[in-house]
Amino acid sequence: MKFILFLTLIFSAVILPVAIYGQERSLNIIYTGSVNGELEPCGCSPKTDFGGLARLSGYLAAHRNELSPYILVDAGNFTDKDTPQGKLKAAAVLRSYSIMKYDAVAIMNNEKAFPHEFIVSLLKDHAIPAVSDALTFDQSLLIDREGIKVNISVNPDGNRKDAVNVLLTDRPVSGAGLIKGWDVIIVSSGDILDEPLKVDGTVIVTGYPRGKKTGILTLTNDSEGGVKKLSHKWISLGADIEEDAKVRSVLNEYDLKVSGLLKESAKPLAGDTYLGAAMCAECHLPYEESWKKTRHAGAFDILIKAGKSNDPECIACHSVGFGEKGGFFTLETTPELANVQCEECHGLDREHIEDFSRPMRRVTEKICLKCHTKENSPDFDYPVYLKKIIH
Ligand code: HEC
Ligand code: HEC
Ligand code: HEC
Ligand code: HEC
């Protein structure tokens, strides 16, 4: 009995590795695409609380051994718009990508909208290899990962015989389906394919918009190096995933810089516009009291807790009249207009306090939908939500 066991042990120790490494080899292609500068989800609802670069990095760190060998690529459109905040996002994305050691990123339309030098110097600073059809970039690069050669390219004619061929494109899936001769095409157009699409010998996958999920394609090669088998899975990056501390600090630094941007920017002109709940309460005390019991009255505190109280992209829905004359600007300058107050629903009508007979606008569902979007409030159901705030 013991003897047989001993034999089996030797057997598996000697024969198995040869069987795995001598004939078949597996490689994971971990990919993102059309991340659109989404550094992390807003956390507005648990249902949409997926993605984020610190979680992705944490996931990779925790699973490095079982994922290896792998290559990590971004198919492009990883930046948002070319605005001052968009530039900070672009820098934070690429800093995070360098921490995660991306093997290649593609420069697509979103990136091309920035000044060329800006993107080029970011890539250089962070030593991130890039492919693009824009001038000064290489269109293809060859990666050798533990003996498996992978050709990463943006050129539909750039496939080669001696490698696994991976094309990065921002064409829609329908356009990608017409391109021949590739093992894998990764699309960053914003289209979503829940499952890989097989067209002839090519597997087409899409980067999940805003990084809500990360894709993993597992290729198994035969002994000649051709792709023999292919499987796919999505990694949904939920709140249960432990964040990587290094990327988290990049994101925290980003928040500080965004805060600086807001505070340096010109405060919108003062206007005799928004009054604030305290003013309304002078004549409508019971309404103010009932409003205070709703979550709207604490909507700004939640931003402070999240470290996002100076991020224009959050403030817009968590305060009154942000960006408008006489609306909320910062907690220091306009504390009386923090939180979702009366005038976000009832509208702006300063003359009302002199002429009570002027009818205020009717509160309709459309008013709620400005903030209760599919992304930020996936459970929104007007009758149900209205019941919770009616006073
Ligand atoms: C388009 C409007 C909108 C934007 C922009 C927005 N939010 Fe929200 N947020 C909401 C709404 C609406 C809810 C309530 C969702 C619900 O419960 O249905 C919410 C809820 C939240 C919550 C959960 C509150 C709780 O009590 O659990 C957090 C946290 C939050 N938002 C943070 C942020 C942050 C951080 C940002 C910026 C990155 C942001 N929000 C941007 C509309 C927005
Ligand atoms: C100086 C007192 C005063 C202030 C301040 C005031 N209101 Fe009024 N408001 C009234 C009175 C009085 C009425 C009742 C008018 C009537 O019944 O014709 C009224 C009516 C309303 C109505 C019902 C209007 C309608 O169309 O039927 C709303 C909504 C309202 N106020 C909201 C507000 C909000 C929001 C604020 C703060 C921006 C505010 N009020 C500030 C005195 C005030
Ligand atoms: C200016 C943006 C804005 C508008 C307009 C707005 N909301 Fe909200 N709402 C929010 C935010 C932000 C939160 C989350 C606050 C928090 O939890 O801290 C929220 C939370 C809520 C909640 C609590 C959700 C829960 O599950 O307990 C209800 C209910 C709600 N809103 C109903 C409405 C209705 C109904 C309307 C329209 C009549 C409306 N809201 C208009 C931003 C807005
Ligand atoms: C999330 C949206 C929302 C917010 C915030 C809100 N209200 Fe209202 N309020 C409503 C809705 C909905 C009604 C029901 C009447 C309607 O359809 O216009 C109402 C009704 C009222 C009425 C009575 C109107 C009438 O027809 O008799 C007053 C007065 C009023 N609100 C004052 C306030 C004051 C003051 C605040 C802030 C302290 C406030 N509301 C905050 C949505 C809101």
Segment 11-49, tens digit of pLDDT: 333 333 333 445 678 999 999 999 999 999 999 999 999
Confidence category of residue 221, pLDDT binned at 50, 70, 90: confident
As for ligand 3, residues whose beta carbon falls within 6 Å of it are 295-296, 298-299, 302, 317-318, 340, 344-345, 363, 367-368, 370-372, 385-386, 388-389
Confidence category of residue 186, pLDDT binned at 50, 70, 90: very high
Confidence category of residue 268, pLDDT binned at 50, 70, 90: confident
Concatenating the DSSP letter of every residue in 21-78 gives HHT-EEEEEEEE---TT--S---S-GGG----HHHHHHHHHHHHHHH-SEEEEE-S--
Q: Is 269 exposed, middle or buried (0-12, 13-18, 19+ CB in 10 A)?
A: exposed
Mean pLDDT of the chain: 92
On whether both 225 and 295 belong to a single domain, the answer is no
Q: What is the mean pLDDT of residues 324-336?
A: 93
Higher per-residue confidence, 266 vs 69: 69
Domain hosting residue 160, numbered range: 22-245
Confidence category of residue 266, pLDDT binned at 50, 70, 90: confident
**What is the spatial distance between Cα 156 and Cα 335, in angstroms, rounded to a whole number?**
55
254 falls within a domain = no
153 falls within a domain = yes
9 falls within a domain = no
Is the Cα dihedral 62, 214, 25, 7 positive or negative? Answer: positive
Task: Verify cis geometry, omega within 30 degrees of 0, for the bond prior to 84.
Answer: no
On whether both 37 and 181 belong to a single domain, the answer is yes
Q: What domain count does the chain have?
A: 2
Q: Residue 146 sits in a domain of what CATH number? A: 3.60.21.10
On whether both 284 and 383 belong to a single domain, the answer is yes
On whether both 220 and 341 belong to a single domain, the answer is no
CA 204 to chain CA centroid, nearest Å: 21
Total-model pTM: 0.92
On whether both 284 and 201 belong to a single domain, the answer is no
- Residue 150: how many CB atoms within 10 A of its CB? 22
The phi, psi pair for 242, rounded to 5°, reads: -75, 130
- The sheet carrying 140-145 orders its strands as 140-145, 148-153, 164-169, 184-187, 202-206, 197-199
CA 351 to chain CA centroid, nearest Å: 43
**What is the spatial distance between Cα 187 and Cα 214, in angstroms, rounded to a whole number?**
13
Confidence category of residue 263, pLDDT binned at 50, 70, 90: very high
- Looking at 184, 213, 245, the residue that finishes a domain is 245
Q: What is the mean pLDDT of residues 348-371?
A: 89
Cα radius of gyration (the chain): 26
Q: Is the pLDDT of residue 92 over 80?
A: yes
10 falls within a domain = no
Q: How far is the CA of 347 from the centre of ligand 2 (A)?
A: 11
Q: Could you tell me the maximum CA-CA distance found in the chain, to the nearest angstrom?
A: 99
pLDDT at 18: 32
134 falls within a domain = yes
pLDDT at 194: 96
Q: How far is the CA of 376 from the centre of ligand 1 (A)?
A: 6
On whether both 377 and 291 belong to a single domain, the answer is yes
Give per-residue pLDDT as tens, 142-183: 999 999 999 999 999 999 999 999 999 999 999 999 999 999
Strands 202-206, 130-131: pairing kind: unpaired
- Looking at 211, 245, 279, the residue that finishes a domain is 245
Q: Is the pLDDT of residue 10 over 70?
A: no
Residue nearest to atom 14 of ligand 4 (CA): 390
On whether both 222 and 275 belong to a single domain, the answer is no
The phi, psi pair for 263, rounded to 5°, reads: -70, -30
- Looking at 245, 261, 294, the residue that finishes a domain is 245
Q: Is the pLDDT of residue 1 over 80?
A: no
Q: At CB < 8 A and 24+ separation, what contacts does 190-194 make?
A: 190/34, 190/77
Q: How far is CA 35 from CA 56, 93, 129, 208, 340, in A?
A: 12, 9, 18, 7, 29
Check: CB of residue 367 under 8 Å from CB of residue 345.
yes
% pLDDT > 70, the chain: 93
| Ligand 2 contacts CB of residue 350 (under 6 A) | no
Q: Is the pLDDT of residue 56 over 90?
A: yes
On whether both 141 and 204 belong to a single domain, the answer is yes
Give per-residue pLDDT as tens, 112-146: 999 999 999 999 999 999 999 999 999 999 999 99
13 falls within a domain = no
199 falls within a domain = yes
On whether both 215 and 276 belong to a single domain, the answer is no
On whether both 129 and 217 belong to a single domain, the answer is yes
Strands 140-145, 148-153: pairing kind: antiparallel
124 falls within a domain = yes
Q: How far is the CA of 356 from the centre of ligand 1 (A)?
A: 33
Question: Look-up: residue for tokens 């069987």?
Answer: 19
pLDDT at 237: 95
On whether both 210 and 326 belong to a single domain, the answer is no
| Ligand 2 contacts CB of residue 285 (under 6 A) | no
- Residue 29: how many CB atoms within 10 A of its CB? 26
Count CA atoms closer than 13 A to 83's CA, side-chain side.
11
Confidence category of residue 7, pLDDT binned at 50, 70, 90: very low
DSSP state of 271: -
On whether both 234 and 308 belong to a single domain, the answer is no
| Ligand 1 contacts CB of residue 118 (under 6 A) | no
